Amino acid sequence: MIRTDPETPDVYLTPVEDVFVRNHLGPHPRLDTDTWSLSVEGLVERPLRLDFRALEGLSQTRFTAVHECFGNPLHPTVPTRAVTNVEWTGVPLAEVLELAGPRPEARHVWLEGADRGDFAGESGLSFLKDLPLAEARAEVVLAHGMNGEPLRPDHGYPVRAVAPRMFGTNSVKWLTRIVLAAERPEHVFTTRLYTRVLPGESVVRPVREKDVCSKLLAPKDGGTVPAGVRELAGYAWSSGEVTAVEVAVDDGDWLPAELERRGPHPSWQRFRLRHHLAPGPHRIRCRAVDAAGRVQPLTGDRNAVHEIRVTALVNG
Ligand code: MTE
């Protein structure tokens, strides 16, 4: 079940009720903190099962991160703008791995949720993802809080994984099982869907790190504004820091916008440009560049340059 995107609100932290919900396997499973447990198994010295109280007893971290859906895996060329900025609270996965003691042959971490259902012609599926052990250890958090409140049922209550630099598909909800393995799992959500060939490459890779992207939020797409000097503003984000955003009005040059620094958390960065809009219709575009030198493509990809249309009115 893939629901439609709500409009991204123009606020730094997205209220929980505005965060998109992506449930592939039907309604959320019914779990609670009294009965939930997480097993850590496979290539570990000490297989373990943690309950919610044990998880709360481990060291906690809190950070803000962009939470972005990669888009419908069955329609890989359709752009998506389902993106939010959320504060998560939880336990670094590294803490839990430390308790279990990965064996030297362990290379991959499999993360499995408690939901079960059918998708893309396959039935009786679980939602399973995997990450290289080193990356999972460095960044994944087992989150139980979202914007200072317990996770809501649709967002993975009581515990989900969050991989802050990666697309949301890697952030497994209703997490109940972690397996350490020597190889990647063959599964509809790991090797069949959510894979892609990056521009300039020929290898098929799993969808992981977010792409560089930006979105214009003001003025509102399709709306009217008073003619004159207006603020053209929005947010930019990537798996690393965004280093520049440019804005173009109609067929004019790409102009550098003012851009906030990212700070210590992988959150989105606001950009703005004050620009004179003459009376009449306008096309406004924005494009971001990140620290790795990646630039948003003009067309043809999910993170293609965002474009809005507005009309400036003389007596607006
Ligand atoms: N985890 C489970 N167990 N089941 C799912 O269907 N969907 C994934 C990911 N984790 C999913 C899941 C996808 S594709 C995305 S984009 C995010 O969860 C969405 O998280 P949200 O619904 O909390 O916004």
Q: Render pLDDT for 114-145 as a digit per residue (tens, 0 to 9).
A: 999 999 999 999 999 999 999 999 999 999 99
Asked whether the domain spanning 213-313 has the same topology as the one spanning 16-206, the reply is no
Sign, CA dihedral 171-174-175-177, equals negative
Residue from 28, 169, 190 whose mutation best tests the ligand 1 pocket (most atoms within 8 A of CB): 169
113 C-alpha to ligand 1 centroid (Å): 10
pLDDT at 73 (0 to 100):
78
Q: How far apart are CA 277 and CA 28, in angstroms?
A: 47
pLDDT at 2 (0 to 100):
29
**Residue 124 per-residue DSSP state:** E
CB 39 within 8 A of CB 45: no
pLDDT at 316 (0 to 100):
63
Residue from 2, 3, 23 whose mutation best tests the ligand 1 pocket (most atoms within 8 A of CB): 23
Question: 16-206: which CATH architecture?
Answer: Alpha-Beta Complex (3.90)
Q: How far apart are CA 73 and CA 119, in angstroms?
A: 11
Q: How far apart are CA 213 and CA 238, in angstroms?
A: 6
Pocket, ligand 1, Cβ cutoff 6 A:
19-25, 69, 113, 115, 127, 155-156, 168-169, 171-174
Which regions of the chain are under pLDDT 50? 1-9
Q: How many CA atoms lie within 13 A of 3 on its CB side?
A: 12
pLDDT at 76 (0 to 100):
67
pLDDT at 206 (0 to 100):
97
How many angstroms separate the Cα of 137 from the Cα of each of 11, 94, 95, 293? 31, 5, 9, 26
pLDDT at 8 (0 to 100):
39
Report which protein residue has its CA nearest ligand 1's atom 17.
168
Report which protein residue has its CA nearest ligand 1's atom 19.
22
Question: 213-313: which CATH architecture?
Answer: Sandwich (2.60)
**Residue 44 per-residue DSSP state:** B
Helix, strand counts (H, E) of the chain: 3, 21
Q: How far apart are CA 113 and CA 290, in angstroms?
A: 32
**Residue 26 per-residue DSSP state:** S
pLDDT at 77 (0 to 100):
67
CB 29 within 8 A of CB 174: yes
Residue from 19, 147, 157, 171 whose mutation best tests the ligand 1 pocket (most atoms within 8 A of CB): 171
The domain spans of the chain are: 16-206, 213-313
pTM: 0.94
169 C-alpha to ligand 1 centroid (Å): 5
- The atom of ligand 1 lying closest to the CA of 113 is 3
Q: How far apart are CA 9 and CA 269, in angstroms?
A: 14
pLDDT at 56 (0 to 100):
97
279 C-alpha to ligand 1 centroid (Å): 44
pLDDT at 75 (0 to 100):
75
- The atom of ligand 1 lying closest to the CA of 23 is 6
Q: Which amino acid is at 233?
A: A
Q: Would you report the helix, strand and coil content of the chain in percent, each value rounded to 5?
A: 10, 45, 45
Q: How far apart are CA 288 and CA 235, in angstroms?
A: 10
